Amino acid sequence: MAGYNMMRCGEFRTTYEKDTTIFPTPMSKKFALLGVLLCVVAPLQFGEFSLVSPTILTLMIQIGYLSIGALGLNILVGFTGQISLGHAAFFGFGAFASAWMNNDFSIPVFFSIPLAGVLTMAIGMLFGMPAARIKGLYLAIATLASQFILEDFFARADWFTGGSAGALANPFELFGFQLSGDRSYYYVVLFYMIAMYILAANLMRSRDGRAFVAVRDHYLSAEVMGINLTWYRVLSFGISSFYAGIAGALFAHYLQYVSVESFNLFLSIQFIGMIIIGGLGSVMGSLMGTAFMVLLPEVMQGAAGMITSTDWGNIPAITEGINFMKEMVIGLAIVLFLIFEPDGLAHRWRMIKAYWKLYPFSY
């Protein structure tokens, strides 16, 4: 009968080791492995037949690198309780740094991506210094400054970014083989995504992760518990920027061209939107929120296409305004989310799991 149970209603652990796993139940672990497996087989082609279309593959890659960036921001905002309006700038810095190291120092892309992460981490810690002293709205403004300083730097530092012309980034190379097509690059992004998510999940169940949450929940008592507030606040910026840097580098070698304009404040706000929708303080929520934010415009695009193909498509107000309406609906979706699902998609997912655990006897 045991095989029948999708989810057991009681977990009886006999060792501390079993009590500290990433996945709370064997079922949730299997579920995650299944998800990974699906991601691995998704781009496979069988002759003429392929599981996902190139468009969807592009979206999956996009979700992949953006979700790494979102996870980084979630560590900073969701777990440590800081705020950053400059995340896109760090994302951009990672993109330029990887391209720069690859072009100017012929460091292979394989190494330049993690190195870009480390370099961005250093920059992030530098710009995170104000966090040691200020909080809340004041910190938001301070990080806004870092967004503009870095954007300006991108536009002026020709040696680093190629200035207004932008920088060319080489395709990913592994042992002399170029992995340039979407299909093979997808696996690079998938690898990084899984690795970064596992790192974050581990971080959150060990000493420094707990320290971050302690700083968020009650910084005064965190300090009395022996936590160095300054270090952890700055470190949180560092780790968040490390994630942003890796994500940016993956983005650069995917598009193979980095332009100065792509890393504006709007992207920073989008990152914040992703983690709010996904769930602040949830590792998997970062991925869910990113998927939501990437797919929502696509769905809206589809809906807009459907509207324009009906009779309404002839009304000038709609044909001209459809793009604005699309943006407005995205904004509306976020507002509705904040009202009805303030804890994010991750919370909704937990509720669904709790429901199934007791199904059909919910009392």
Partner 1 sequence: MTGQTTPILEVDDISLRFGGVRALSNVSFNVNKGELFSIIGPNGAGKTSLLNCVSGRYSPQEGSIKFKGQEVTKMTPNHRAELGMGRTFQNLALFAHMSVLDNIMVGRHHLMKNNFLSGGIYWFGGAQKEELIHRREAEDIIDFLEISHIRKSVAGTLSYGLRKRVELARAVALRPDLILLDEPMAGMNLEEKEDMARYIVDLNEEWGMTVIMIEHDMGVVMDISERVMVLDFGKNIAEGLPHEIMSNDYVKRAYLGEEDDADENASDEVA
Distance CA 340, CA 34 (A): 30
Distance CA 72, CA 200 (A): 9
156 vs 218 by CB, closer to partner 1: 218
16 vs 49 by CB, closer to partner 1: 16
Which of 97, 179, 211, 252: binder of partner 1 (CB under 8 A)? Answer: 211
**227 binding partner 1? (CB under 8 A):** yes
Compute CA 324 distance to the chain's CA centroid, rounded to the nearest angstrom. Answer: 26
Which of 203, 296, 307, 330: binder of partner 1 (CB under 8 A)? Answer: 203
Which of 225, 315, 328, 352: binder of partner 1 (CB under 8 A)? Answer: 225
Residues 74-93: x/- map of binding to partner 1 (CB under 8 A)? --------------------
How many chain residues are in contact with partner 1, going by CB under 8 A? 33
Which of 1, 137, 220, 317: binder of partner 1 (CB under 8 A)? Answer: 220
Distance CA 82, CA 77 (A): 5
User: Among 62-70, 90-98, 169-177, 223-231, which window interacts with partner 1 (CB under 8 A)?
Assistant: 223-231
Question: ∠ CA(80), CA(217), CA(133), 5° rounding?
Answer: 60
Which residues, 246 to 305, sit near partner 1 by CB under 8 A? 281
**What helix, strand, coil percent values describe the chain, rounded to 5?**
75, 5, 20
**224 binding partner 1? (CB under 8 A):** yes
Peptide bond into 360 cis (omega under 30): yes
**132 binding partner 1? (CB under 8 A):** no
**344 binding partner 1? (CB under 8 A):** no
DSSP string, 231-294: HHHHHHHHHHHHHHHHHHHHHHHHHSEE-GGGSSHHHHHHHHHHHHHH-TT-HHHHHHHHHHHH
- 245: CB partners within 8 A, 6+ apart: 90, 91, 93, 94, 97, 116, 117, 118, 119, 120, 121, 124
137 vs 220 by CB, closer to partner 1: 220
Task: Give yes or no for a contact between 207 and 82, defined as CB atoms under 8 angstroms apart.
Answer: no
CB of 7 to partner 1, least distance (A): 18
Which of 222, 244, 247, 322: binder of partner 1 (CB under 8 A)? Answer: 222
**351 binding partner 1? (CB under 8 A):** no
Which of 10, 47, 176, 226: binder of partner 1 (CB under 8 A)? Answer: 226
Question: ∠ CA(335), CA(337), CA(340), 5° rounding?
Answer: 110
CB of 345 to partner 1, least distance (A): 18
**354 binding partner 1? (CB under 8 A):** no
Task: Give yes or no for a contact between 102 and 162, defined as CB atoms under 8 angstroms apart.
Answer: no
Distance CA 86, CA 321 (A): 30
**208 binding partner 1? (CB under 8 A):** yes
162 vs 278 by CB, closer to partner 1: 278
For 362, counting Cβ atoms within 10 Å of its Cβ (0-12 exposed, 13-18 middle, 19+ buried), the class is exposed
CB of 357 to partner 1, least distance (A): 16
Which of 36, 126, 205, 356: binder of partner 1 (CB under 8 A)? Answer: 205
CB of 307 to partner 1, least distance (A): 43
**350 binding partner 1? (CB under 8 A):** no
- 289: CB partners within 8 A, 6+ apart: 70, 273, 274, 275, 276, 277, 278, 279, 344, 345
C-alpha neighbours within 13 Å on the C-beta side of residue 54: 2
Which of 12, 16, 46, 324: binder of partner 1 (CB under 8 A)? Answer: 16
CB of 53 to partner 1, least distance (A): 35
156 vs 205 by CB, closer to partner 1: 205
Q: Which residues bind partner 1 (CB under 8 A)?
A: 16-17, 19-20, 199-200, 202-203, 205-211, 213-214, 216-218, 220-229, 235, 239, 281
